[in-house]
Structure 1
Amino acid sequence: MSFLPPWVGLLLALLLLLALASGVLRWGLARQARGLAQTDAGEDVQSQARRRIQQQHMIDLDAALAEGRLNASQHAAARDDLMRQVLVDQVPVGTAVQLGDQGATVQLRWGWILLLLGALSGLTYGQLGSPQTWWPVPLSQLVQISAATPEQLAEQTRLWQQATQKRPDNAEAWLTLARLQAAQNAHDQAEQSLARVLALSPEPDLWIERAQMKALSSGGVYTGEPWQWIHNVLREEPRHLNALVLAGSAAWSEKRHAAAQTYWQRALSLVPASSEAAQGLQQALSQVSPEALLSQGAASAPGIALTADTRPVIQGEVRLSPVFQKQIAAGSSLFVYALAEDGSRRPVAIWRGTPSAWPVSFALSDSMGMGAPPVLSSLAQVRLVARISKTGSAQRQADDVQVELPGVKTGVQGVVLDITGRSP
């Protein structure tokens, strides 16, 4: 697979066209010069022949006058006619100038042709050679999901599942389905869909996305295949931004703060200083700095893990409608987790319990995060999700019930999550 954009090929073709036009121009001028030289040579031979004939004719006229075959007046008239003929046969004055002007005209004509070719090349590149048109958009950037509500997510998931069944070789359909599944916290299903995408379109960004889904489906554990996929991408592209960011998060989750700092610093060097990405990375780096680790209770000796803050950041209760209370089997698990409002579906805090009576109280803290920034207390507001799982699986199942509550400010107490319907 070539990494050269198609407009490079267009530019090379245009340069080749200009070189060819220049060569044709030089060949045409050289040929014109040879033609002029041959014309001059031919005219010299003809002129010499005419002069010899005219000289012989003059000799014959003089002989006729001497022999009495012509009188003086006849001889003068014949001589005048011959002299006029000689003058007519001579090359007119200014012929060389005219020939030079003709060569200059040819040069000017070829110059205009070359100029027009250059202008045409520039216009062609301007219309067809722009990076926006000729640089192919990666599949990972092409696919966006627009669904926002649970109902929309469920409906679009159903439609794209049908699309993948009808067109199993359509990578765009599989990626859309994967992202819809990820938006519903079905990380295991999303990872499997991404595997189908990568079989059709093995982009580095998609490998990183799959590594994240694989880790989320394993409870935030990157050991094994997620780390292997991250390392594979970084081995091929050491400056891959998404790989460096996820590598930092994975190292942070394993309490390897120095490694996380190294990865995030490398990522920070790749983004504009004023960008949102730079701000996020600077925030993450501030949490792994030696000063931050010490202030949060980390030991000064290397290798000692960070002690997370266990103080509640959000407190509240989960209520369940009487209709569903009768359907929930004993031993079912209740999950309450907080999501960042920026659209990311990676929980920043997870609480789990086994309710025996309703309502159920819960409390979320920084210690309940997945080991990677941002932490719950660093966000101004979050989206809360409460889900009941009969199987106790961290992955959402078809018969789970849940509720989502957006715009919950951190530091609040008394939040109520009322489950009245089945999750899509």
Structure 2
Amino acid sequence: MSFLPPWLGLLLVLLALGALAAGVLLRGLRSQGQAVGIAEQSRTNRDIHQQHLADLDRALAEGRLTALQHQAARDELLRHLLDDSARADEHPAAAVPARWLWMVGALVLLSGLSYVQLGAPQTWWPVPLSQQVKISATTPEQLTEQTRVWQEATQKRPEDAQAWLTLARLHAAQNAHAPAEQALARVLALSPEPDLWIERAQMKALSAGGVYAGEPWQWIQDVLRTQPQHLNALVLAGSAALSEKRHAAAQGYWQRALALVPADSEAAQGLQQALSQAAEMAQAVGVQASSASLADDTRPLIQGEVRVSPEVQSQIGAGSTLFVYALAEEGSRRPVAIWRGTPTAWPVRFALSDSMGMGAPPVLSSLAQVRLVARISKTGSAQKQEGDFQVELPGVKTGVQGVVLHITGR
């Protein structure tokens, strides 16, 4: 049986929580300098990224980079931008002491609730492995030396996921995409993270010449299936769709990614540029497709001539209209193609194509064979009138040339 009154026990608990909160406050104040340094480094990195992006665009314009190399380098740069932005968000610099006071109060309240509801204090999430590794080497000599050092480290510590990830990113910085992908496979066997699956998908595709079909697409889709708003997955999915000339799909992925980043951020600017590029490519492809479609529509599918007997020719008045049209042998009697002319001499040549249709299916090219009709109208009416001369020829195969329609009577 305790001799302490209940309120005293509660007071002791609150004092303990207050001491814990005060410790967090002091820690936060000490970390402000570090947060400011991180923010400054983030701004410096953004300036470097902007210059790098301008260099890439200039290299593409001057022909020193192919479109595939430019896209791969731009995707890698955008991934670094997103990583820097996430890192800066994790270490915001406190603007005023009042913010820390608010956090202390919140910590006291949350700690009390945790003890009441769970019987144990809340724990903080550790920094993901994908955000722990940053390559500091910049020159080819530094990259080569660090690669050698970390290769030895992975041999000595084969279960060290951080060492394998460092080695993978050193390989990637030297455009050694296949070794980078192999090292990432070892990382994922030790520490599977969505960001690392996306990184591996990119390396796998780049090692195959920019082809995302197969495993890279599967890995991207697996991440999006469990995390539909995963930023890096959406960005890489857009690049993969664009590489397959699926411009609308690429725009869809990038629009979703754009909604997840601040409107005035470097990442947003990169995504806006990617969206503009996809729109321009889609427009160019649309123009080409329209031109090709128009050419196909006007390509003659049936060609021939119409002849008339001397008896019929003697009865044809000046200004009579000649119709030649094709009908489906089964189904609707609506013409699938119509040719019209005003002959001044005989025989008369004609050609039928899809562009001469009625604007509704079926089209001439979709039929294996048709019935041809040639009719001479004195009035020029599209409907057959009394006194018109006409001939029909069934079973004409689509694509035939040199067919002859001989009009000998009504």
Global fold match (TM > 0.5): no
TM range (shorter): 0.3 to 0.5
Please report the TM-score for the alignment, with normalisation by the length of structure 2. Answer: 0.44
Structure scoring higher RCO (CA < 8 A, sep ≥ 6) equals 1
Larger Rg: 1
